[in-house]
Amino acid sequence: MAERTIVRLGDPILRERSKRISSMTPHMEMIAEDMKHTLYAKKGRAGLSAVQIGVPLRLVVIDDGNGLIELINPEIVEMSGMQVGPEACLSIPGVVGIVSRSRYVKVKAQNRRGEPFVLEAEDFLARCVQHEIDHLEGILFIDHVEALYSAKTGKPLRQKEANAILAYKRETYRKA
């Protein structure tokens, strides 16, 4: 088990669509363990996708405070309701954004043995699941953001700082 380096905003791998995992090889098991170790080593974290450690595969680990959840090849199959709230991302440190998300999601995924299961999530866990699955599609929370704030002070970012981050929004990023 090793703590991995987090890929930061601006690295093109964050905009790649992650590939499905066909089977959990020993190498994949090691990646999952490293992700778990990396997640717990970071302060204020709730989730991590494999692409955030430079591995564009459909693997997510989440701990919303109620224990670790691993999702392999996750797919959202149902969404409902709406919630608006703060989000942050290990790949965009120091920034919090206000984002609209579904309040409820139902996800089909697999465990490490390749067995399918369904996860139903509400509220904060639903927000975490959507955020991490977005990563697997090359989508970042700044693509949905309504406002950006400093994680340290809680104050809105200065226009220059906000513009530097928003330059990487999906529609801008694809045109570049």
The pLDDT of residue 1 is: 78
According to DSSP, the residues that pair with 109 across neighbouring strands are: 117
CB 87 within 8 A of CB 99: yes
Q: Which residues are catalytic?
A: 132
What tokens were used for 101?
A: 């998300």
Is residue 131 a known part of a binding site? yes
Distance CA 48, CA 129 (A): 10
Distance CA 82, CA 166 (A): 23
Is residue 135 a known part of a binding site? yes
Decide: helix, strand or coil at residue 36: helix
Edge-to-edge strands, sheet with 68-80: 47-49, 59-63, 68-80, 104-110, 116-122
The pLDDT of residue 119 is: 98
Q: CA–CA distance from 23 to each of 13, 17, 26, 134 (Å)? A: 22, 18, 10, 22
The pLDDT of residue 171 is: 63
| This model's pTM is above 0.75 | yes
pLDDT < 70 regions, the chain: 171-176
What tokens were used for 48?
A: 């991590």
The pLDDT of residue 48 is: 98
The pLDDT of residue 176 is: 42
The pLDDT of residue 42 is: 86
Q: CA–CA distance from 158 to each of 117, 147, 150, 154, 165 (Å)? A: 44, 11, 9, 12, 11
Is residue 89 a known part of a binding site? yes
Distance CA 125, CA 142 (A): 19
For each of the domains in the chain, give its residue range(s) and CATH number, in order of start.
12-175 (3.90.45.10)
